[in-house]
Amino acid sequence: MVTLKEATSKADLKKFVKFPFSLYKDSPYWVPPIINEELDSFDKSKNPAFKNAEARFFLAYKNDIPVGRVAAIVNWIEINQQKVSKMRFGWFDFIDDFEVSETLLKKVEAIGHQHNLEYMEGPVGFSNLDKVGVLVEGFEEIGTMITWYNHPYYQKHYERLGFVKEKEYEENRFPFANAHPKFYDKAGELVKRRYGVKPLSYTKTKDVMAMADTMFDLFNESYSSLSSFVPITEVQKAYFKKKYISFINPEYIKFILDKNDKLIAFGIVMPSFSQALQKSKGKLFPFGLFHMLMAKKYSKEVIFYLIGVHPDYQNKGVTAVMFQEYYKTFTAKKIQHCVRTPELADNIAIKQLWKHFDPEIYKRRRTYRKEL
């Protein structure tokens, strides 16, 4: 028999965060989170997402042993301002037992009914900067710090329980050798002359931080047309600056300005922390921080996390200027491999942006939907 317990105390939330450590203890592909950071993201006093959202965390037990978990999330900006009547769920992990997965999702469904919502979708997080999607291809590839990993049996659980595919995402990679400047150097110089744009790079994190609020404003403008988009609020900006930017080499964040020095595009790339996180085993101390710092300095693999372009400059080639700058930086750093974060499979503009790099789709993931 499966029983559910809501995780409300710090001790229970720690069990919630640590459940995947036992589920994936023998997997060479799972990348663990930093336990304390994960706990902070579930802390109403620390994560500003809770100012406009609510979340409840549930653990499933069999014989007093944790066998599954799920976070049930209601984003009020999405519901009240965007009129998207969605019950979100994420951090959904479970043993290969249909009673376990069904019990957890029935609880999410009940909360959705309580709020008179129309459908549920997952796995997703609080916002667009959280992890998204259940892995359906690429199980023998190491994960990243910005994606969830899962066992192959997850997909059959969603489909047996009446869920249907909502969105499909692709993850691509390519060797840095494919990033030949002949594809964008000429275009970059043409765009600079035609529109008067110019690149801006920094070598100090404090200088990047000074640009961060403007960058997040541009992020909101760049992605507002996507159906799944939830804008970043003012209070979330400071949180994301601390959570993400401090992890990233400042020279891996590029800005493009127009002729009036207004920010019109940005790129965020991070070094791969996957192996460092595996070595850290969820803890920064005593040795985890050392592994993270070594990866930040010496990793030869980078992850293209986010690119934002102002709507007025989309389809005008400003990303060619950005790629010029990244080519210089990555050549100096002797980068060997480039990975892209999950991108919607039907995003034709993204496919066009990367076509010259001859990328390989090496993972696919999905969100699943069920009417309430």
Q: What is the pLDDT of residues 227-249, one digit of tens each?
A: 667 788 888 888 888 777 877 99
Provide the domain limits for residue 70. 3-170
Q: Residue 286 pLDDT more than 80? A: yes
Q: Averaged over 264-278, what is the pLDDT?
A: 96
CATH number for the domain that contains residue 65: 3.40.630.30
Residues 138 and 363: beta-carbon distance below 8 Å: yes
Same structural domain, 87 and 106: yes
Q: What is the pLDDT of residues 152-177, one digit of tens each?
A: 999 999 999 999 999 999 999 999 99
Q: Averaged over 306-318, what is the pLDDT?
A: 92
Instruction: Tell which of 135, 170, 205 closes a domain.
Output: 170
Can you tell me the distance from the alpha carbon of 324 to that of 306, in angstroms, rounded to the nearest whole number? 17
Can you tell me the distance from the alpha carbon of 232 to that of 217, in angstroms, rounded to the nearest whole number? 8
Structure tokens, 332: 């100096």
Distances (CA, A) of 134 to 152, 191, 220, 226: 9, 39, 25, 20
Structure tokens, 235: 């209070």
CA 115 to chain centre: 27
CA 320 to chain centre: 24
Q: Residue 200 pLDDT more than 70? A: yes
User: Quick check: is 370 in a domain?
Assistant: no
pLDDT for the residue 237: 83
Q: Residue 260 pLDDT more than 80? A: yes
Q: Averaged over 259-273, what is the pLDDT?
A: 96
pLDDT for the residue 225: 73
Q: Residue 291 pLDDT more than 70? A: yes
Residues 201 and 254: beta-carbon distance below 8 Å: yes
Same structural domain, 229 and 166: no
Cβ-Cβ contacts under 8 Å for 366 (sequence gap 6 or more): 133, 134, 136, 155, 165, 166, 167, 168, 169
Can you tell me the distance from the alpha carbon of 21 to that of 17, in angstroms, rounded to the nearest whole number? 8
Can you tell me the distance from the alpha carbon of 71 to that of 24, in angstroms, rounded to the nearest whole number? 19
Q: Residue 38 pLDDT more than 90? A: yes
User: Quick check: is 192 in a domain?
Assistant: yes
Percent of the chain having pLDDT more than 90?
85
Q: Averaged over 114-128, what is the pLDDT?
A: 94
User: Quick check: is 369 in a domain?
Assistant: no
Same structural domain, 198 and 266: yes
Same structural domain, 154 and 181: no
Same structural domain, 193 and 158: no
pLDDT for the residue 228: 63
Residue 19, CB-side half-sphere exposure with 13 Å CA sphere: 25
Same structural domain, 92 and 134: yes
Residues in the chain: 372
Q: Averaged over 108-134, what is the pLDDT?
A: 95
Q: What is the pLDDT of residues 210-230, one digit of tens each?
A: 999 999 999 989 887 766 677
Average pLDDT value for the chain: 94
Residue identified by tokens 């409840």 is 56
The structural domain count of the chain equals 2
Instruction: Tell which of 155, 170, 185 closes a domain.
Output: 170
Same structural domain, 38 and 122: yes
Q: What is the pLDDT of residues 40-75, one digit of tens each?
A: 999 999 999 899 999 999 999 999 999 999 999 999
Q: Residue 342 pLDDT more than 70? A: yes
Same structural domain, 142 and 22: yes
Residues 63, 65, 68, CA angle at the centre, nearest 5°? 115
Same structural domain, 9 and 125: yes
Q: Residue 262 pLDDT more than 70? A: yes
Residues 110 and 99: beta-carbon distance below 8 Å: no
Q: Averaged over 352-356, what is the pLDDT?
A: 91
User: Quick check: is 308 in a domain?
Assistant: yes
pTM of the model: 0.93
